[in-house]
Amino acid sequence: MAAHRIVTLPGDGIGPEIIEAATRVLDAVGSFTYEPHLFGGAAIDVHGTPLTDATVAACKGADGVLLAAVGGPKWDSTDPAAPRPEQGLLGLRKALGLYANLRPVRPLAALYDASPLKRELIEGTDLLVVRELTGGIYFGEKVRRADYASDLCEYSTSEIERIARTAFEAARSRVTSIDKMNVLETGRLWREVVSRVHAEEFPNVELEHQLVDSAAMKLVAAPRHFDVVLADNMFGDILSDEAAMLTGSLGMLPSASLGEAGDPGLFEPVHGSAPDIAGRGIANPLAMILSAALLLRHGLSLEAEAAALESAVDRALAGGLRTADLGGSATTAEATEAVLRELSNA
């Protein structure tokens, strides 16, 4: 069988360290070739832009894309003309047509005590945040003057329809759709369109609507209530980071960004580049490894390999693996080796 071609985007900070961990684990379950490209701040330093045309072309021609993390104080600026690493991420999502971001949140029994929430609150939680990724306020027209700034939030019916279908198709029993319809016109359109898609195409799935502030409270008060959380770009960004803390650390949360069937997906951990610990060899690679599992499942249709990788992470944690963010002392290399041992012992 021919090797799957994967573009890797190490990015900034701890990115190169955790990408190396992910590729080592992938090589233990399949045949892959890797094509690395500079991205984010690293690309700004060399090319003056966070995303080059060559990188876009390589990603479009790949079977899947693994992205580690971007950003850092070096590139922080309030100058609207200055290139920012995050612009590369938004640009890549747009170029690849990645409109659906899937963020599974499943606290592991071995890590219940690592969460800031009580064990009895998070036990049994298994939810999926489905975030619209290419519309909304992040992509709307932006205006900046000396004493004024604005960001336009806009959505079309077709954009809401397609992300709603993604959520309903992923649901086991219930979709909780998030909006701010009591204040925002986009929220009112969002609720109308989601309700129509539900009634016409998915009547056997329960649908509930929640205002984003109410949902934010319920997410920490009763997380087991949620099955699939459907949200726009900004609300989904915020709520998924909040949900990450149910697992005990941002270092545990993977994500998949998907477009139309057959197009390459983008797979990345939810956490940032952690420049304060870059180069020290102590970054938690598990979210990156679990993102590689999502690449196997959603990008390459290799379900058995994806399940094997996720099970290996579960068993390593059950066996006592803890990186610094989880209250332990395991290094990046030690965490990677622990997962590889579990794979070989399966």
Q: Which of 180, 263, 276, 325 is flagged as catalytic?
A: 180
Predicted confidence at residue 57, as pLDDT, reads: 98
Predicted confidence at residue 1, as pLDDT, reads: 57
Question: Whose CA is closest to 25, among 316, 319, 330?
Answer: 316
* 148 catalytic residue (yes or no): no
Predicted confidence at residue 113, as pLDDT, reads: 81
Q: Which of 112, 138, 179, 227 is flagged as catalytic?
A: 138
Residue 25, CB-side half-sphere exposure with 13 Å CA sphere: 37
* 60 catalytic residue (yes or no): no
Distance CA 256, CA 13 (A): 21
* 213 catalytic residue (yes or no): yes
* 218 catalytic residue (yes or no): no
Q: Which of 12, 179, 232, 237 is flagged as catalytic?
A: 237
Distance CA 296, CA 307 (A): 9
Q: Which helix (H) or strand (E) holds 143?
A: strand 142-145
Residue type, 224: R
Averages of pLDDT over runs of 10 residues in the chain (346 residues) are 90 97 97 97 96 97 97 87 90 94 90 84 92 94 94 97 97 97 97 98 98 96 96 95 82 91 91 94 96 96 96 95 92 98 91
* 241 catalytic residue (yes or no): yes
Q: Which helix (H) or strand (E) holds 16?
A: helix 15-27
Tell me the CA end-to-end span of the chain in Å, nearest whole number.
23
Q: Which of 213, 218, 227, 276 is flagged as catalytic?
A: 213
